[in-house]
């Protein structure tokens, strides 16, 4: 039987979610460079000596001024999350916050060095940059959301194979992402009872025998396989034929990770975990060394901050609830090895009078008045920098848990102990994306983020997490 000729529609610009994120970053970079030029021009035309000229750029502009585009993109780092970037209100809030932080830091530096005649702190140039950057970034983001992120002709055309439990889950995931990750043309499934049904507003078009016809008619670029277990028979052959025709075959775990930045633990088997964390999650000796050096540097800086902060926090805790100031608790470290974690005490002395561990809840009545402030600002976690210096924790990693909770949760949540493959961290991928948890269901979602970090961890991801962490503190997301 002769295979039908087909050319996947790659002649048009159709972007994957990760590729659209790259476009978003590139657009922000171009906008920041334009804003830098505007700031320099406004500064130059007000210079009575040189004006806006090559000599002005060479003699009057300090080197640090040219790093403003990089600083601006760091301030926008939280807006490169796929969900946050797709929300216009969140974008406005994020750009506004970045502008306020930029101006705030500038004013602090300006007033700190005003008495220094050698200091070059350009008011007109800095103001011009931040105003231009905020307005142009909002304009670019609006165009991106309106014309690049939501138009069907810019999206990959995806056909999903599998309308069972996993397929339904993927439909819910895709419907939850804004803007839509790709254009879903329909579903293929060999179960005759599902054909011609509509699942989550998506039609089941037919079985494996008509898969190639659907590919041709709908000009499919990708086939998403959402089937647990092995694909066999006619479906397997149809997928091979589609791949030979130029269609890209993608699996459910990869798409799930790309869209949500976490792994689907309820839809994976032990072999996948062993393969992923035995092969893909291995890290180089260079990364381990660089991470430890980063931990030492961060631990020293954090311990210095702790020394400066201690008198004020200690007095506040003493007045509010008396001694002790610190709270020491056994936690599970790398490989399940127990260690004592240090925090400022935020709960009453009898918070666990019966001796059984309890999760912290929203508006927990065990938290003291000062404790509420310490938790909201995450100041209670500053003493953990001592644990980082001692090598028991890292700056970045999964949140540490008590051994009793680990033993309990591993009985109900699949692969829970896999999070002990790395050191616990002061901050982490799960802490940034999901925050605190109070139920087993929430813990399961947070574990998906932890395993995503363990699988994909590298020095660049660690740096991104560290740079995004201040947003969590400024947003007062603690519990």
CA quadruple 459, 463, 464, 469: dihedral, nearest 10: 140
Phi, psi (deg, nearest 5) at residue 185 = -85, -25
**Which of 354, 329, 365 has the alpha carbon at shortest distance from 344?**
329
The percentage of residues in the chain with a pLDDT greater than 90, rounded to a whole number, is 49
| Residue-level pLDDT at 380 | 92
C-alpha span between 279 and 288 (Å, rounded): 16
| CB within 8 Å of 186: residues ≥ 6 apart | 159, 160, 202, 203, 204, 205, 214, 218
Are 173 and 259 within 8 A, CB to CB? yes
Task: Evaluate if residue 280 carries a pLDDT over 90.
Answer: no
In this structure, are residues 164 and 227 in contact, taking their beta carbons and an 8 Å threshold?
A: yes
Structure tokens at 405: 């909770």
Q: Residue 431: pLDDT above 80?
A: yes
Residue for token pair 């699996």: 251
Q: What angle do CA 273, 433, 441 make, to 5 degrees?
A: 60
The C-alpha atoms of residue 190 and residue 208 are separated, in whole angstroms, by: 6
Q: Give SS3 for 176.
A: helix
**Residue 231: pLDDT band with limits 50, 70, 90:** confident
Place of tokens 């740079």: 467
Write the CB contacts of 153 (distance below 8 Å, at least 6 apart in sequence): 12, 13, 14
pLDDT, one tens digit per residue, over 121-173 is 678 888 899 999 999 999 999 998 888 777 777 788 999 999 999 999 999 99
pLDDT category at 222 given cuts 50, 70, 90 is: very high
Question: Which residues neighbour 390 within 8 Å (Cβ) at sequence distance 6 or greater?
Answer: none
Inform me whether the pLDDT recorded for 71 exceeds 80.
yes
Question: pLDDT digit string (tens) for 406-421?
Answer: 998 988 888 898 899 8
Q: Are 437 and 448 in contact (CB under 8 A)?
A: no
The superfamily in CATH containing domain 156-260 is: NAD(P)-binding Rossmann-like Domain (3.40.50.720)
Q: What is the DSSP letter of 151?
A: -
User: Mapping DSSP to helix (H, G, I), strand (E, B) and coil, where does residue 175 land?
Assistant: helix
The pLDDT of residue 54 is 77
pLDDT digits (tens, 9 = 90+) for 294-340: 999 999 999 999 999 999 999 999 998 888 999 999 999 999 999 99
User: Tens digits of per-residue pLDDT, 89-114?
Assistant: 889 998 998 999 888 888 887 777 66
What one-character DSSP code corresponds to residue 66? Answer: G
To the nearest whole number, what is the mean pLDDT of the chain?
A: 86
Measured between alpha carbons, how far is 443 from 423 in angstroms, rounded to an integer?
18
The predicted-structure confidence for 251-275, as pLDDT tens digits, reads as follows: 998 899 988 999 998 887 767 667 6
Q: What is the DSSP letter of 331?
A: E
Helices then strands, each counted (H, E), the chain: 18, 10
- Residue 46 is predicted with a pLDDT of 73
Angstrom CA distances, 375 to 353, 363, 378, stand at: 21, 11, 5
Structure tokens of 193?
């009872």
CA 421 to chain centre: 20
The residue behind tokens 């996993």 is 166
- pLDDT attached to residue 29: 95
Nearest 5°: phi and psi at 370? -70, -35
CB-CB contact of 402 with 332 (8 Å): yes
Instruction: Give the mean model confidence (pLDDT) for residues 389-418.
Output: 92
- How open is the CA angle 457-426-376, to the nearest 5 degrees? 130
Query: Coil, strand, or helix at residue 402?
Result: coil
pLDDT band (50, 70, 90) for residue 378: confident
CB 396 within 8 A of CB 456: no
β-pair partners for 261: none
Higher pLDDT, 45 or 139: 139
For residues 381 and 327, give the distance between their C-alpha atoms in angstroms, rounded to a whole number: 10
How far does Cα 29 stand from its chain's mean position?
20
Per-residue model confidence (pLDDT) at position 155: 83
The per-residue pLDDT for range 171-221, each reduced to its tens digit, is: 999 988 887 888 999 999 999 999 999 999 999 999 999 999 999 999 999
CA dihedral 9, 15, 17, 21 (to 10 degrees): 170
Give the start-to-end residue ranges of the domains of the chain.
17-148, 156-260, 285-474
Look at residue 438 in the predicted model and tell me its pLDDT. Answer: 75
Sign of CA dihedral 164, 168, 173, 179: positive
Q: Which residue has the higher pLDDT, 361 or 467?
A: 467
- pLDDT at 310 (0 to 100): 95
């Amino acid at each position: 039987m002769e295979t039908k000729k087909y050319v996947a529609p790659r002649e048009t610009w159709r972007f994957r979610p990760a590729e659209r994120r790259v476009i978003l970053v590139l657009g922000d970079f171009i906008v920041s460079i334009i804003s830098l030029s505007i700031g320099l021009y406004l500064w130059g035309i007000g210079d009575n000596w040189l004006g806006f000229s090559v000599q002005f750029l060479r003699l009057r502009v300090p080197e640090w001024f040219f790093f403003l585009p990089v600083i601006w993109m760091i301030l926008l780092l939280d807006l490169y999350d796929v969900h946050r970037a797709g929300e216009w209100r969140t974008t406005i809030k994020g750009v506004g916050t970045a502008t306020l932080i930029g101006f705030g830091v500038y004013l602090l530096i300006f007033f700190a060095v005003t008495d220094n005649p050698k200091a070059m702190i350009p008011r007109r140039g800095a103001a011009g940059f931040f105003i231009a950057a905020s307005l142009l970034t909002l304009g670019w983001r609006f165009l991106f959301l309106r014309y690049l992120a939501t138009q069907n002709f810019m999206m990959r055309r995806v056909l999903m194979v599998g309308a069972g439990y996993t397929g339904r889950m993927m439909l819910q995931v895709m419907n939850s992402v804004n803007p839509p990750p790709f254009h879903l043309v329909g579903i293929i499934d060999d179960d005759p009872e599902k054909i011609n049904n509509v699942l989550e507003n998506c039609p089941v078009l037919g079985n494996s025998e008509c898969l190639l016809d659907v590919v041709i008619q709908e000009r499919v670029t990708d086939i998403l396989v959402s089937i647990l277990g092995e694909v066999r028979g006619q479906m397997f052959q149809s997928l091979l034929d589609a791949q030979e025709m130029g269609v890209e075959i993608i699996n459910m775990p990869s798409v799930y990770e790309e869209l949500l930045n976490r792994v689907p633990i309820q839809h994976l088997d032990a072999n996948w975990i062993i393969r992923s964390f035995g092969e893909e999650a291995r890290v180089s000796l260079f990364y381990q060394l660089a991470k430890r050096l980063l931990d030492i540097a961060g631990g020293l800086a954090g311990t210095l901050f702790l020394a400066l902060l201690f008198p004020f926090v200690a007095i506040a805790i003493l007045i509010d609830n008396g001694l002790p100031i610190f709270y020491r608790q056994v936690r599970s470290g790398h490989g399940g090895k127990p260690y004592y974690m240090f925090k400022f005490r935020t709960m009453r002395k009898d918070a666990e009078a019966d001796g059984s561990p309890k999760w912290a809840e929203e508006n927990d009545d065990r938290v003291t008045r000062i404790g509420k402030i310490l938790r909201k600002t995450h100041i209670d976690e500053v003493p953990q920098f001592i644990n980082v210096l001692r090598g028991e924790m890292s700056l970045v990693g999964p949140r540490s848990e008590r051994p009793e909770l680990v033993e309990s949760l591993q009985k109900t949540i699949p692969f829970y102990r896999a999070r002990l493959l790395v050191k616990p961290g002061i901050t982490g991928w799960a802490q940034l994306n999901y925050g605190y948890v109070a139920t087993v269901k929430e813990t399961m979602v947070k574990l998906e983020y932890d395993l995503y970090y363990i699988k994909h961890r590298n020095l660049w991801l660690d740096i991104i997490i560290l740079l995004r962490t201040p947003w969590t503190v400024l947003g007062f997301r603690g519990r």
